[in-house]
Amino acid sequence: MKQKAPSNKVISLTKKIADKKSFAAQKKEKNRKSNTRVIAITSGKGGVGKTNIVANVGFALSKLGKSVLILDADLGLGNLDVLLGLAPKYNLSHVIMGEKSIPEIILEGPGNMKILPASSGIQELTRLTKEQKIHILTELDSLINPIDVLLIDTAAGISSNVMYFNTTAQEILVVVTPEPTSITDAYALMKVLSIKYSEKDFKVLVNMAANVKEAYEVYRQLSLVADRFLDISIEYIGYVLFDEKVTKGVRLQKVVSEIYPNAQASMCFTSLAKNICESPLTKLPKGGTNFFWKHLLQNNFS
C-alpha cells in the first residue's frame, strides 16, 4: 500500500513552488522597462511663460496621440490647475503628508492630459526632505508605465526643489525669452546644474520671440557664452512667437492650442511637440524603470 507524503513536506513543496513563481514575477518586473519620456521644463527667471508652455506642449503632444502626464512641481506656488480652469479638491501636499495617493489626486485636463496639481501658499513644501522626495518618486514609479510623456513643470530659479526635479528628469528644457535678464538667469540655471549636479545636456526653447530671427539670436547668445565658460551641450529645440491670443487663452483659463488651433503660437506648439518626439534621448534610463530617480537621490541628495 502506497503511503501518503507527510503534510509538512507537501506544504514545503507548495511553498517552494510559490517562492519560485514569486521570484520569476519579480525578475520579470525588474527587467521590464517603461518607454516613458521624462522632461523637466524649467527657467531661471519667473514670468517667461513656462507653465503656459507646459500646458500647451502637453496638449499638442496629446493631439499627436501621446498619453501625457503633467506634474506641477512648483510645490509652494503651483498654478497649473488655475491656468487650465481646474479646481482640485486634493493636491500633492496631501500626497506628501500621506493623506492621499497620487492616483487619487490626478485630474483630467484638456486633450485627455493627466494633471498632478501642486499646492499653493504652503511654504514648507518648497524645501522637501529626502524622505518626502522618495515618497513622491515611489508613488510616481507605480503609475508611470502607461504614460508616453511625463512633463515636469518646475518652479523658476535655482532652489533645491528646482535642482532636484531637473536632475531627476531624462531631459531638461530651459525656457528663455529675449529679455536680457531672462537670458542671464537661464545661463545661471544651467551653470548651477552643470557645476553642482553634473548635468551636461540641455534643450533651449525661446518664448515670446518677435520673429524667428530674434529667437535664434537668443539661442546663439546663450550657446556662445556656454561654449566659452561651461562644459555643456545646448540643443535649440524651438521657439514660440509672441501672440496676443495666448493672453486671451490665459484669461479664459484655456490652452491657446485648444481654443485657437490656427493661431501663430498654436502652430509653434505643434511644431515644438513634433521636435520633442523626433529628438533623440540624451540620457538613457537606468535600472528597470524610466524613473531612475532613486539612484540619483543616493548620489546628489543624501
Res 161: pLDDT: 81
pLDDT at 228 over 70: yes
pLDDT tens, position by position, 133-192 = 777 777 777 777 789 999 999 989 998 888 988 988 999 999 999 999 999 999 999 999
Res 30: pLDDT: 42
- Which one-letter DSSP state was computed for residue 235? E
Q: Which amino acid, one-letter code, is at 63?
A: K
Res 129: pLDDT: 74
CA separation, residue 118 to residues 83, 92, 104 (Å): 12, 5, 13
**Rounded to whole angstroms, how far apart are CA atoms 115 and 86?**
10
Res 138: pLDDT: 76
pLDDT tens, position by position, 233-292 = 999 999 999 999 999 999 999 999 999 999 999 999 999 999 999 988 766 544 444 454
What is the average per-residue pLDDT within 54-61? 97
pLDDT at 121 over 70: no
Cβ atoms of 55 and 65 closer than 8 Å:
no
Between 143 and 22, name the one with better pLDDT: 143
Q: What is the pTM of this model?
A: 0.83
Task: Tell me the domains of the chain and their CATH numbers.
Answer: 36-280 (3.40.50.300)
**Rounded to whole angstroms, how far apart are CA atoms 176 and 166?**
16
Res 12: pLDDT: 53
Res 131: pLDDT: 76
Res 301: pLDDT: 47
Q: What percent of the chain has a predicted confidence (pLDDT) above 90? A: 57
Confidence at 293, pLDDT banded by 50, 70, 90: very low
Cβ atoms of 71 and 117 closer than 8 Å:
no
Res 282: pLDDT: 63
Res 62: pLDDT: 97
**Rounded to whole angstroms, how far apart are CA atoms 145 and 135?**
18
- Which one-letter DSSP state was computed for residue 64? T
Between 182 and 5, name the one with better pLDDT: 182
